[in-house]
Amino acid sequence: MEQNIEETQPTLMNHAVKWGVIVGVINIILLLLIYVIDITLLANWWVGILFLIINLIVVIYAGINFRNTGDGYLRFGKAFTYSFVLLIVAGLIGLVFRIILFLVIDPDAVSVIADATVDKTEQMLSNFGMDDSQIDEAVEKARENVVKQYTVSGMLIGYLISIIFAAIGALIVGAIIKKKNPEEEI
């Protein structure tokens, strides 16, 4: 009994949502590892870069996997859509988890992250030779900004802003994973 190829191939949306959940869970695991090891690591810029690199690698892998489940070709428009949906789903899962972690499970973690951010900001500004009054003002703003980022509205705004970056990331990933079918070219 022959199966229809349409039945065995996942749709773009199904595959993107599945991998969006996988990327979301990977991000949750990474965040939990950082939380358990040392929550103050979240005040370091390189942690964000690490998350970005890991996400980029997994999204490219997932996109190539999707492309190969079909005929091995994927137009840029579909590659972009696939990547964008995946990143939106992963971001939404991450948002829900961060709200639960920082507002329900451990609201005190925000103060710890704010203190670490303040320390790093103070050290950096001192190295730049700023005077104490300028440092105090900048440090207070840094503390306010960190605390705002970890409110529900701050996290929602962060998620909405991340949609813009998801679109940029999807453009990059789409360009990487696309593959033209030579038979379609004239």
Q: For the chain, 186 residues long, give each residue's pLDDT as a single digit of tens.
A: 444 444 556 899 999 999 999 999 999 999 999 999 999 999 899 999 999 999 999 999 999 999 999 888 999 999 999 999 999 999 999 999 999 999 999 999 999 999 999 898 888 888 888 888 888 888 889 889 999 999 999 999 999 999 999 999 999 999 999 998 888 765
Does a structural domain hold residue 32? yes
Grouping H, G, I as helix, E, B as strand and the rest as coil, residue 57 is: helix
Angle value at C-alpha 119, between 130 and 105, nearest 5 degrees: 150
3-state secondary structure of 182: coil
Q: What is the pLDDT of residue 138?
A: 86
Token representation of residue 83:
């990547």
What is the model's pTM? 0.86
DSSP, res 104: I
- Whether 133 maps to a domain, the answer reads yes
Write down the pLDDT at residue 2. Answer: 46
- The residue with tokens 């593959």 is 179
The count of structural domains within the chain is 1
* Rounded to 5°, angle at Cα 53 from 103 and 55: 60
Q: Residue 71 and residue 95: Cα distance in Å, rounded?
A: 35
Q: Is residue 131 part of a domain?
A: yes
Residue 143 lies in a domain: yes
d(CA 161, CA 79): 22
Three-state DSSP class for residue 179:
strand
Asked if the structure places residue 183 within a domain, the reply is no
For residue 86, tell me if it sits in a domain: yes
DSSP 20-33: HHHHHHHHHHHHHH
Question: How far is residue 65's CA from residue 2's CA, in Å, rounded to a whole number?
Answer: 23
182 part of a folded domain = no
3 lies in a domain? no
126 is in which domain, residue-wise?
A: 9-177
